[in-house]
Amino acid sequence: MKNIIAIIKFTVLTVILLAVIYPAVIWGIAQLAPNQGKGETISVIGKVVGYQKIGQKFDKANYFWGRPSAVDYNATGSAGSNKGASNADYLAQVQKRIDTFLIVHPYLKKSDIPSDMVTASGSGLDPNISPQGALIQVKRVAEERKLSEDKLKELVEKMSNKPTVMGTETINVLELNIALDKLK
């Protein structure tokens, strides 16, 4: 009986510690963070439309598309693929993405497609593409929106995030598409 009482006390203490105190401390720390721990949101006219660091699916012809996602842009299940570059299933999946991309962009050759447009990122949620990935989509988006290609190329250049010291130039696809919607 003495052991049972000790186990019950330990269980209650553990529940209080891990289910009440720990979450309260973490919540308190989050309140000190920018945006109170809710992530870096992107808003349009006061409405949250997405997050700075999480990719979203764009598949309509009048928008720029982001990287493919191994998890269909589900942020609760962030994951990449464990398949290596020599895996036949992976190669078939990438080839299918290339074929689909070429159908929608008939003016391109396979060698014109940057790898970020047909391969998923490690997290499956990358919100960025390369400027080259955006530029090869300009013709399609311009035709769909009845805009000049030069105007869209200027927008892509303006929305490019240059690395501070080292790294590669990127474009946040959600921010690019929001700016695209604001064009007249």
CB-based contacts of 116: which residues, under 8 Å, 6+ apart?
Answer: 67, 126, 129, 130, 133
Residue 56 confidence (pLDDT):
87
pLDDT tens figures, 150-166: 999 999 999 999 988 88
DSSP label of 61: T
**Mean pLDDT throughout 8-34?**
93
Q: How does residue 47 score in pLDDT terms, banded at 50, 70 and 90?
A: confident
pLDDT tens figures, 74-132: 777 777 667 778 889 989 999 999 999 999 999 999 999 999 999 988 777 889 999 99
Instruction: Report the 10 Å Cβ neighbour count for 48.
Output: 11
Q: What is the mean pLDDT of the chain?
A: 90
Task: Match 């992107």 to its residue by tokens.
Answer: 42
Residue 83 confidence (pLDDT):
77
Q: How does residue 48 score in pLDDT terms, banded at 50, 70 and 90?
A: confident
Stretch among 24-28, 52-56, 57-61, 166-170 having the lowest mean pLDDT? 52-56
Q: Where are the domains of the chain?
A: 1-38, 40-182
pTM of the model: 0.77
> Rounded distance, CA 154 to CA 14, Å?
58
